[in-house]
Amino acid sequence: MADSHASAHHDDHDHGIAHTASVKVLLGTWGALMVLTVITVLATKVDFGPSLNLAIAMAIAAVKATLVILFFMHLFYDKLFHTVLVIGGLCAAALFVGFALMDSGQYQDSIRWDLDRAVQTK
Amino acid sequence: MSSQATASAEPNYFEVTKGFKSWALTLDHKRIGLMYLFGILFSLLLGGAFALLVRTELMMPGETISSADTYNKFFTLHGAVMIFLVIIPGIPAALGNIMLPIQLGAPDVAFPKLNLSSFYLWCTGAACLLLSIVMGSVDTGWTFYTPYSLDESKSGAIIPAVFGVFLLGFSSIFTGLNFLVTVHKFRPQGMGWFQMPLNLWALYATALMQVLATPVLGITVLLLFVEHTLHIGIFDPTLGGDPVLFQHFFWFYSHPAVYIMIVPAMGVVSELMTTFTRKPIFGYRFIAYSSVSLALLSFLVWGHHMFVSGQSPLANMVFSALTFTVGIPSAIKVFNWVGTLYKGDIRLQTPMLYALSFIIMFTIGGLTGLFLAILATDVHLHDTYFVVAHFHYVMMGSALVAFLGALHYWWPKFTGRMYPERLAQVCSIGVFVGFNLTFLPQFVMGSRGMPRRYWDYDPEFTIYHQLSTVGAFILGVSLFVVVCYLMVSFKKGRKAPKNPWGGTTLEWDAPSPPTLYNFPEPPVIHELYDYDDIVEDGDNGWVRKPRPAGAPPKEKH
């Protein structure tokens, strides 16, 4: 298996990794990331309210992360199964963080913090 | 016969190299699995000893053998050792390591060096966990719940314990990753996904959970460590932290961990059912899919551990409803196993006795879980002995019993020696009787209000505790005898034939014990669970019938 693997990649460059994305695509992705960074900065200049500002910033960050995964990390050229794995991992993380924060947000109002007393008793 | 001749022509994996270094630096999955196995059996005796200390203390109300503080340490160490050192690695890391590549017809796992490093991580993690005993010992329960675990006076014991758990988690992740890649990449031609033995489906589903869930355990114990050392205020309420958040973090791993323990056990039972009924498994695809669906559902139900911990009513309702869905794939498996038994040529050898015990005790453990999934009843039953009995029926009565079944089933294969069958059958009955005598009374006393983890109790509960303690000693003695006769048979047991049980999966085509790369020649993929082609041949065990020359190959299902 190791032999066949080695022969399949005999035309790779010295680091043994094939470039599946063209320079044009890589530069285009880099350009898109730069533009999105500028949009992120500009979006902070407009006051949409704290929730909407955060949502816009997170949405732009999600688009940027997707571009990185698709083109810089080659997922776009990879097997569909690997996309399923990545999406599955992201869903697991979203589920964990989403549910924990949802629940935490629900019961925060019922907590009565008394930090002064806590410090005294410690 | 010819295979035996082949087996003797090529040295087996014990004979290839000898000496301490050959074991300490081995990359052979069987040797690594065997080292895991001995570590796990030692941990089983240690965890069992702590259990007997707990049960002895509870024999009478008030102080029997230890103070309340010492008792807290006993049950914490019992839980931590049994969960992290025995049941989680029991089937995947020990027996899975040994059998997964052989069942695939592969020479080894995909990453042998990673495999060895995961074993050393397990050893280091176990050493750290046990170091906490001499550093003052943890008394928080195996869950390390905050704010108990934030007590600075106990940092000396808690920090090595949680660091040990952190390392054990990474050991588990490495094993899972190795198995995932091995199943994807090392399946031979002719073995599609639905020609894989169900044990491999179960190990694959388990590996998915190990890789996805265990990192959260690492994050959780790391945050606990940081809370202890830097006082960042994430879990500590006196610093504005949220102890319920710790429970979210902890159970997001530890509920899938329950399935990391039980799903491989289900894979084993599927193999035992088909082999010892001489019948193809009933509903192969349903069992395979139910393993994967259990793996996915395991991520959606962690909040049912927190119904009375301050979790919001909305989350309670969501988690209660989702918990019921787990019953569907579990019931599919049980119905299919019972369907396999129907009109089967049932052979009550030791592995099958453990498999039948599993079905009975898993059914009891599973159904009593539904009581706890209902919000209204959980309020009354939470933190009582009802919960203790429920999870022991699943973790010990099911997972550990299946581990024992698997151990006896594959013992002749990987050691090349037979264990004493009659003594093993007696011990398996002793395990069944002892276990049920221990935990059935706990359902009763729990439903009558006996809280768990209490050192003292009202006199009305005395009889239940006494029955439970007697059962625990029957169970303890049975397990001790099992470990003893296995150790003796490892050296002095009768030589095992290649296929002592008449199994049809690929491991039974390998010599007993296997050669370094498992098969002297590339194995031929046969129809899965086809018992028509296998006949008994006296002391040679079971052999495949020679196919007539020119006969067309049998169609695979």
pLDDT tens column, A62-82: 999 999 999 999 899 988 888
Instruction: For residue B557, tell me if it sits in a domain.
Output: no
From the list A92, A115, A119, the residue facing B212 with the nearest CB is A92
Instruction: Check whether B138 has a pLDDT greater than 70.
Output: yes
* Dihedral sign for Cα atoms in the order B538, B543, B549, B551: positive
Q: What is the pLDDT of residue A1?
A: 33
Residues of A in contact with B242 (CB under 8 A): 104
- Residue type for position A114: D
- What average pLDDT score do residues B325-353 get? 95
Confidence at B469, pLDDT banded by 50, 70, 90: very high
Q: Do A99 and B237 touch (CB under 8 A)?
A: no
Instruction: For residue B553, tell me if it sits in a domain.
Output: no
Q: What is the pLDDT of residue A17?
A: 54
Interface test mutation site (partner B, options A78, A80, A99, max chain B beta carbons within 10 A): A99
- What average pLDDT score do residues B248-254 get? 92
Confidence at B132, pLDDT banded by 50, 70, 90: confident
Instruction: Check whether B201 has a pLDDT greater than 80.
Output: yes
Instruction: Check whether B447 has a pLDDT greater than 70.
Output: yes
Chain B: closest CA distance from residue A73 (Å): 19
Of A70-79, B207-216, B480-489, B547-556, the least confident: B547-556
Taking the C-alpha atoms of residue B134 and residue B146, their distance in angstroms, rounded to an integer, is 22
- Domain positions in chain A are 21-78, 81-122
Q: Do B240 and A113 touch (CB under 8 A)?
A: yes
* Dihedral sign for Cα atoms in the order B465, B466, B469, B471: negative
Q: With pLDDT > 70 as the criterion, what percentage of chain B qualifies?
A: 97
- Give the residue from chain B lying closest to A81, CA to CA: B184
Q: Could you say which residues from 66 to 95 on chain A have a Cβ atom under 8 Å away from some Cβ of chain B?
A: 88-89, 92, 95
Q: What is the pLDDT of residue A122?
A: 45
Residues of A in contact with B213 (CB under 8 A): 92
Q: Two tokens at B137?
A: 């010992």
pLDDT tens digit sequence for B325-334: 999 999 999 9
Of B154-163, B405-414, B450-459, the least confident: B154-163
* A98 in reach of chain B (CB within 8 A): no
Residue reference for tokens 């996915």: B296
Taking the C-alpha atoms of residue B324 and residue B297, their distance in angstroms, rounded to an integer, is 10
* B233 in reach of chain A (CB within 8 A): no
Domain that holds residue B353: 2-10+25-544
Taking the C-alpha atoms of residue A96 and residue B154, their distance in angstroms, rounded to an integer, is 30
- What average pLDDT score do residues B511-528 get? 91
Ramachandran quadrant class, A52 (left: phi over 0; alpha: psi -120 to 50; beta: rest)? alpha
B451 three-class SS: strand
- What average pLDDT score do residues B523-527 get? 88
* A117 in reach of chain B (CB within 8 A): no
Question: Does the interface ipTM go beyond 0.85?
Answer: no
Q: Count of domains in chain B?
A: 1
Instruction: For residue B139, tell me if it sits in a domain.
Output: yes
- B542-544 and B534-536: which strand pairing? antiparallel
Chain B: closest CA distance from residue A35 (Å): 34
* A116 in reach of chain B (CB within 8 A): no
Estimate the share of chain B in helix, then strand, then coil, as percent rounded to the nearest 5.
70, 5, 25
Instruction: Check whether B53 has a pLDDT greater than 50.
Output: yes
pLDDT tens digit sequence for B88-120: 999 999 999 999 999 999 999 999 999 999 999
Instruction: For residue B554, tell me if it sits in a domain.
Output: no
- Provide the strand spans (E) within B254-359: none
* A103 in reach of chain B (CB within 8 A): yes
Instruction: For residue B16, tell me if it sits in a domain.
Output: no
DSSP string for B96-112:
IHHHHHHHHT-SS-S-H
Instruction: For residue B257, tell me if it sits in a domain.
Output: yes
Q: What is the pLDDT of residue B321?
A: 94
Instruction: For residue B447, tell me if it sits in a domain.
Output: yes
Q: What is the pLDDT of residue A108?
A: 76
- What average pLDDT score do residues B132-146 get? 86
CATH number at residue B422: 1.20.210.10
Mean pLDDT value across chain B = 92
Q: What is the pLDDT of residue A18?
A: 58
Q: Do A107 and B300 touch (CB under 8 A)?
A: no
pLDDT tens, N- to C-terminus, chain A (122 residues): 333 333 333 444 445 555 678 899 999 999 999 999 999 999 999 998 878 998 999 999 999 999 999 999 989 998 888 888 888 888 888 888 888 888 888 887 776 666 565 555 44
Q: What is the pLDDT of residue A95?
A: 86
- What average pLDDT score do residues B426-451 get? 97
Instruction: For residue B234, tell me if it sits in a domain.
Output: yes
